[in-house]
Amino acid sequence: MTAPVVTIDTEYTGEHGVAACYLIEDGGRAAFVETNTVRAVPRLLGALAETGLTPEQVDLVLVTHAHLDHAGGAGELVRHLPNAVVMTHPKAAPHLIDPSRIRAGATEVYGEARFAELYGELVPIPAERVRSMADGEEVRLADRPLRFLHTRGHANHHLVVHDPLGDAVFTGDAFGIVYPYLQRNGTLAFPSTTPTDFDADAALASVDRIAALGTARVFPTHMAEQRDVAGIADALRRQLRVLGEAVDRADREGIDGDALDAFFGRLCAEVLDAELASHGFGDDPVARKLVALDAELNGQGLAFAVRKRRFKRG
């Protein structure tokens, strides 16, 4: 049985079609998957009301990882959901209970004013309302089993949620970015390699693990339901191999400093330019604007991966 899922466009950064949260309902009980930022909370509560459900009927808030476009609004959301428990990866849970380290890191990158504009307040969640989910652990939403699978590669504290009854996987960032605007001429998907935990081998293993579940559909946070699961997996494998080989090359050749950042900035721009061109978007300014930030962040993540590897070697 294919269960209905409500897709909520969070209008992250003020743009349509960039990031989603999802609402699952079963037997009069509900779960949110992802929360986006505090700015999205009214949208989530509005979508809940439109389904005829009340905040008291929400039992679960499922967060794939602690990055702020996925979990920044979790604390504010659960203020409105008296019965909800937040479920996430064991390494993400401490950051939801005490988001001070995440806030400090993000404000260092963005500055106070830009951070406030993007993310607003990060509300701590009481520890008793956060549950760490082991790899393979299962919970139930009414009569619907939901299984949690740890999926490294994008972040070390990432998991996905397998919904067997709904024939679906909620994939966070582990199964790529698949913007609806770019799906006009076949499936266009690309990986997210943002700082600080990119690992090509782990990312490939996670793609394989998700694809092996054999579901008819996936729900990436960026964004919306996708049914070409095999096509997405193939595109991600192809690109992840290229990016992983580039990390190895940059490390092996000793590229460092500004040259390292420039190397990966060019590479990620070229990879995404090639994907756009192959799908007929080469001269589309909307498409190019849509992926510009991803190219920049992906380049930063790959450069960080090289520096992290060298640091570990001493």
Q: CATH number for the domain including 41? A: 3.60.15.10
**190 DSSP 8-state letter:** B
Sheet containing strand 217-220, edge to edge, reads 138-141, 144-150, 159-163, 168-172, 217-220
Q: Are residues 253 and 214 in the same domain?
A: no
Q: Which two tokens stand for residue 312?
A: 């570990």
Q: Is the pLDDT of residue 1 over 70?
A: no
- Identity of the residue numbered 62: L
pLDDT grade, residue 176 (50/70/90)?
very high
Q: Which of 99, 203, 96 lies closest to 160 in space, CA to CA?
A: 203
Share of the chain above pLDDT 90, in %: 89
The single-letter code of the amino acid at 225 is: E
Last residue of a domain, which of 234, 251, 266? Answer: 234
Helix (H) or strand (E) holding 171: strand 168-172
CA triple 59-140-203, angle to 5 deg? 100
Q: What is the pLDDT of residue 14?
A: 87
**Same-domain status, 200 and 271:** no
If one counts the domains in the chain, the total is 2
Largest CA distance in the chain: 59
Q: How far apart are CA 18 and CA 12, in angstroms?
A: 6
Whether the pTM exceeds 0.85: the reply is: yes
Domain shared by 91 and 139, yes or no: yes
Q: Are 21 and 79 within one domain?
A: yes
For residues 164 and 271, membership in a common domain is answered with: no
267 and 224, same structural domain? no
Band (117; pLDDT cuts 50, 70, 90): confident
Question: Whats the size of the chain, residue-wise?
Answer: 314
* CA–CA distance, 163 with 215 (Å, rounded to integer): 9
- pLDDT at position 3 is 57
Residues 221 and 164 in one domain: yes
pLDDT band at 189 (very low <50, low <70, confident <90, very high): very high
Cβ(177)–Cβ(192) under 8 Å?
yes
Q: How confident is the model at residue 98 (pLDDT cuts 50, 70, 90)?
A: very high
Q: Which amino acid is at 291?
A: V
Asked if residues 46 and 32 have their Cβ atoms less than 8 Å apart, the reply is no
Dump pLDDT digits (tens) for 225-250: 999 999 999 999 999 999 999 999 99
145 and 251 share one domain: no
In a shared domain, residues 227 and 284: no
Q: Are residues 263 and 304 in the same domain?
A: yes
Segments forming the whole domain that contains residue 142: 5-234
Those residues whose C-beta lies under 8 Å from the C-beta of residue 237, and which sit 6 or more positions away, are 204, 207, 208
Residues 35 and 106 in one domain: yes
**Domain identity same for 133 and 249:** no
Cβ(194)–Cβ(183) under 8 Å? Answer: no
Quick one: average pLDDT of 200-207? 98
